[in-house]
Structure formats: structure tokens, C-alpha cells
Structure 1
């Protein structure tokens, strides 16, 4: 079985105590801290900011990613790389030169990620797959938490999973990922799971208990 990478979505954490939340999740066994950056233009919402990112980055030595749901992400990757992001996701629809931006991310010594919306076709991104280290498949339309899981995206996951060996990237899923979805999608070849309120936050169990159970599922 593929080793799971469990990635708390920090937009769902307590903003008043981001540093403490990060440390608790780190100690509980989180693998990658996922930070949503939104500009109110590419998606109809605003996300976390530079200060939020810095607070999280200073509180863990583990991997931190940034999901750039913003127009012209290539203008900002150097800034986030400088601040300590390990993985940077861009949306191809938001970038006039996505292949150049992915190459820039790698040239900065970071991992290049491509985010794929539910309505984005495989044909439109196939040429970019040799340039990515992580493929973030959205199982909801991006911009807001609490949306329902879109079952039809699983067909896309099944079609993209075989490309992982050819191009040496990992598939990560993001959007209404419940414990049941972690188990199901892991069997389909997914290794990374962005976890929000569906599986991790706002539960009675401790972070450690939840993450341990998810890892074993």
C-alpha cells in the first residue's frame, strides 16, 4: 500500500492560535501543512496571508505547501520560496506560462505542484506532467470550505494514477476528504490527502488519534 501523506488544511485551523495549532498537528504526526492563498479574483474568496504563512512556517520543520489560487502565480512564487515554502501549487488557468512557472519553482529548489480543478480536462494538462512533483486534484470547486465532494472527479483520478510512474509525481486530493474517502482513494493510487473539517478539524478525538487512524486505514 502507498504510504499516506496527511496534510492538514490550515485554513480550517484556529486562526487565533495558528502557531499552537501547527505545533499540535506536528506532534500528532501531520506530514505536510497545506496553506491556501486566495486573491478574491481567480476564486471568489480570500484566503490566508503572508503573516499566517510565516507563523506556520516558524512553528514546524516539516514540509509546508502553498496552494496559489491567485491570478499570475508566477509573480509570487519567488516570494513564497524565500519565505520557506517547500511545495508550490499553481493553477494552469491562472498563469499565462504555466510551464515556465513550474520550471521556475524547480529552479528555486522547491517542489512544483499543479492544481487541477474538477472541470479541468486531462488533455489540457498532460503536457505539463513531466514538470510536476505533485498533482493536486481538486474534489470540490476551489474557493470555499464545506462544499460537497464531487464523485465524478474519481474518474479523472483513475485516469491520472498510471501517469505517476512515468513522470514521477505524487497525486494529492483536496476537498471534502472524509476518512472513508482516504481509504477509497488510497486504493486508487492517491498518496496525499488535504484534511479539513470532513476528517480532522472540529472533532472530539485528538489530532493524534485521528491521524493515526487515517494512516492505518
Structure 2
């Protein structure tokens, strides 16, 4: 099984996004991960719409968007129109999460369910049939560079065991170091959001790092 390597573009060099996109694609990444924050659901602001639109137009690989916002359903059509292929929404602040996930599917994108570290498997199992991807946050959402919260491993194990039954892929977001990528790939995690722990701000080029992560 090929692991999905997805650079978190919040960590990229915004001085030359065109160069960043090109070099990451040449390195062989699978999906561009785009974070949207409203300063309400999480205490930070994410990427601007102009940056996201630029990346989706430049990219030749799929783009996903992680909506860390209130009323995520209001923005589904906007991002689908931009060309985003996977939309992650949170169950924690959406009383009608099943409607939102179905809305994403009906709009022609893949439905992604993002879950915070404190969200249990039991609280989401009824809606897993609607999810094409489950994005497990191993840090509190909103900021890069945080430490991995090891207690999510138990939830990851359950999600990996049940993914064939429900039909989703398991993705991990937060402190995805090379060592953790190697360990958790063997346990069934399908993809990793790459930030400062494995990809950005390193002495090596993207073209050197991505093949190394593939071989782990």
C-alpha cells in the first residue's frame, strides 16, 4: 500500500508559492493539504483564500482543505468550485455533521471527517459510513510545531481496524516525524500531513526528503 504524503502548505514558504508547489510536486507528493481557520473554532487564522485558490490552480495533484471554522457547511461549494477534491470538516461543532458530509459528496468531492485529540471513536462511529477519509488530529488543531499526543494511538488503532468495514482511509495530522510515519504506516495509517516534523524547514531539499519518507 502506498502511503499518502501530504504537505501542509501552512508551513510552506509564502514568498514564492509557485516555486514551492512545483518543487513539492517534482518531489512526488500526493495531496496538498490546505488549512482554513477562522480564529473562532481554533485560536488562529489559517491560509488566505487567495493563497488556496492559487495553489489549486497551480497544482496537478489533488488538493484537500481542512475547515477549522464554524459553520463549515457554508463554505463547501466555494472550495469545490476552486477544485478542492477532499474537504475535511469537524463533528465537534456541527450538530448536523451527517448533512454536511453528504453535502460534500453531493457536490462531487470526497468527504473527510476531522476529529480532535479528545474526540472518541465511540462518538463518531455512527457517521463513519459517510466518511471517505478520517483525519485524526494528534495535536490540538490550529498551530504547527506541537508535540504529539500519544493517547491518540489507541483511537488510531481502532480506526485502522475498522477502516475496511466502513470504507475510509485513515490520515494523521500533527507531529508526523519520520519515525512516527514508519511506525504508524505498519499499523494501518494510510496517509500523513507533513509539517515541520518531517518536511519543512530542513537542510535537505523536498526532492531528497520525500523519497526517503517513501522508503521508510
Tell me, yes or no, whether TM beats 0.5: yes
Deviations 1:135-179 (A, max 9, x none): 000010101111101111111100111111011110000001100
Deviation at 1:61, TM superposition (A): 1.4
2:13 corresponds in structure 1 to 14
For 2:105 and 2:19, the matched residues in 1 are separated by 31
SS at match of 2:125: helix
| 1:178 and 2:171 aligned | no
Query: C-alpha distance in 1, partners of 2:74/2:205?
Result: 39
Cα-to-partner distance string for 1:31-57 (whole Å, 9 max, x where unaligned): 000000000000000000210101111
SS in 1 for 2:122: helix
TM-score normalised by length of structure 2 = 0.98
Q: CA RMSD in A?
A: 0.7
The count of residues paired between Structure 1 and Structure 2 equals 216
- Residue 104 (structure 1) aligns with: 103
1:3-82 aligned at under 5 Å gives the runs 3-82=2-81
Residue of structure 2 in register with 1:147 after alignment: 146
TM-score normalised by length of structure 1: 0.98
Offset at residue 96 of structure 1 (A): 2.5
2-side partners of 1:130 and 1:191: how far apart? 17
Runs of 4+ in 1 over 2 A off after TM superposition: none
Find the residue that maps to 1:163 and give its secondary structure.
helix
Q: Distance in 1 between matches of 2:124 and 2:19?
A: 38
User: In structure 1, how many angstroms separate the alpha carbons of the residues matched to 2:92 and 2:154?
Assistant: 21
Q: What residue in structure 1 maps to residue 115 of structure 2?
A: 116
Instruction: List gaps (5 residues or longer) in structure 1.
Output: none
